[in-house]
Amino acid sequence: MGVDLLPIRRIRNVETLVADITTDQCRALIRRTLNTVRADVVLCDGAPNVGASYDKDSYEQNEIVLLALKCATEHLKRGGTFVSKVYRSADYNSLLWVLKQLFKRVEAVKPASSRSQSAEIFLVCLDYVEPTKIDPKLLDPKFVFEQISATDDPNASR
């Protein structure tokens, strides 16, 4: 199954959806399409429209990662793999901590095709533990990145 904002070129034996992974409607559509099938791998190569500022772009990228991870926790089978593009930024360690709660092994990979000066890397998360219950705060960007956004806001109370 493939999900993207734009139509995906036809791939034999692959169901594709045109949807926004950050929405509840998309997650419901995925649930209906997969039915009871569990995924071996969830790959997130999503990215925000970049250009505002690096801090804003990296926050939005890592927010997309958490939303894709939330979807993965609903559909990934025990022992499965989650791979996502991330930007190394102030919230990188918080994101890494979350991933390590759900996977036995998390590895950072910088593909040769990625520019050396780019902050973009891929996190390969192996051996999903499939917990019976996940605290919703673990997948909530406002909670996970709370310290980052509070310190970035000059009006935040200290």
DSSP string, 75-116: HEEEEEEEEEEEE-STTHHHHHHHHHHHEEEEEEE--TTS-T
pLDDT of residue 15: 87
Asked whether the predicted pLDDT for residue 151 surpasses 60, the reply is: no
**157 belongs to a structural domain:** no
**142 belongs to a structural domain:** yes
Tell me the average pLDDT of the chain. 85
**97 belongs to a structural domain:** yes
31 and 43 inside one domain: no
pLDDT of residue 80: 96
Q: What counts of helices (H) and strands (E) characterise the chain?
A: 5, 6
* Tens-digit pLDDT profile for residues 15-60: 889 998 888 899 899 999 999 899 999 998 887 777 768 778 888 8
29 and 43 inside one domain: no
Q: What's the total number of domains in the chain?
A: 2
Q: Is the dihedral of CA 57, 27, 93, 81 positive or negative?
A: negative
137 and 71 inside one domain: yes
Asked whether the predicted pLDDT for residue 64 surpasses 70, the reply is: yes
H-helix or E-strand spanning residue 34: helix 24-34
Residues 6+ apart with CB under 8 A from 78: 128, 129, 130
49 and 31 inside one domain: no
Q: What is the pTM of this model?
A: 0.84
**158 belongs to a structural domain:** no
Output the domain CATH number for residue 119.
3.40.50.150
Q: Confidence band (pLDDT; 50, 70, 90) for 149?
A: very low
Residue 1's domain comprises 1-37
Q: Which of 56, 70, 77, 85 is flagged as catalytic?
A: 85
pLDDT of residue 14: 86
For this structure, is 110 an active site residue? no
64 and 114 inside one domain: yes
**83 belongs to a structural domain:** yes
* Tens-digit pLDDT profile for residues 91-120: 889 999 999 999 999 999 998 887 777 778
Whole-number Å distance between alpha carbons of 51 and 49:
7
47 and 91 inside one domain: yes
Beta carbons within 10 angstroms of residue 10's beta carbon: 7
Asked whether the predicted pLDDT for residue 148 surpasses 70, the reply is: no
**46 belongs to a structural domain:** yes
Whole-number Å distance between alpha carbons of 129 and 76:
10
* 3-class state of residue 42 by DSSP: strand
57 and 131 inside one domain: yes
pLDDT of residue 59: 84
33 and 47 inside one domain: no
Q: Of all residues in the chain, what percent are helix, strand and coil, respectively (each to 5)?
A: 35, 25, 35
Whole-number Å distance between alpha carbons of 129 and 77:
9
